[in-house]
Amino acid sequence: MLVDEGGAVPFAADWLRGIAEQVLASENAGSNAELSLLITGQDRIRQLNRDYRGKDEPTDVLAFAATGEGGVESPSFVSPPDGVWHLGEVVISYPQAVIQAAEHRHPVEQEIAILVIHGVLHLLGYEHDMPERERRMKAREAEILGLIKESWHEAG
């Protein structure tokens, strides 16, 4: 996990890693899966959104998959022979998460968890470009968030 632009966030790397690991476990992705998580600010995510999606505006989360849809290796990316499944990178705007948490009237921790879940599911091949695929992705997000919230209650 990397925090960009010198911005401190009130979350431990282990907490964020645990959320990503819960998504991977829920999707039976195996223990040999690896991904990067970058927490950044509005300027950086806006630049990435503009450069890679053609949208000159900040967004909440971006996912850059190292594999194609459904986890199939992309022809432009060749996995190294280390036995590790390199999924890609999830980039989250912390300021956007704060804004959305206020809009949805829930804690920033919950919004960050939602964005990590969303991003990791994208790396695993989930999309929301069509109504049925969006329903499927939202259902999985809700299920996984429920599991994570259960673990928060058990720990606290």
Residue 128 · residue 138 · CB < 8 Å: yes
146 falls in which pLDDT band (50, 70, 90)?
very high
CA–CA distance, 56 with 45 (Å, rounded to integer) = 10
Cβ neighbours around 32 below 10 Å, total: 11
Range in 10-14, 70-74, 83-87 with the lowest mean pLDDT: 70-74
97, 128, 124: which is closest to 113 by C-alpha?
97
- Which pLDDT value is given to residue 74? 46
Beta bridge partners of 40: 93
Residue 64 has pLDDT above 60, yes or no: yes
- Which pLDDT value is given to residue 3? 58
Instruction: Tell me, yes or no, if the pTM score tops 0.75.
Output: yes
Could you tell me the domains of the chain?
Answer: 2-155 (3.40.390.30)
The model's pLDDT over 19-57, given as tens digits with 9 standing for 90+, comes to 999 999 999 987 788 899 999 999 999 999 999 999 999
Residue 9 has pLDDT above 90, yes or no: no
The model's pLDDT over 74-125, given as tens digits with 9 standing for 90+, comes to 444 555 556 677 899 999 999 999 999 999 999 999 999 999 999 999 999 9
- β pairing state of 33-40 and 61-65: unpaired
Q: How far from the centroid of its chain's Cα atoms is residue 67's Cα?
A: 15
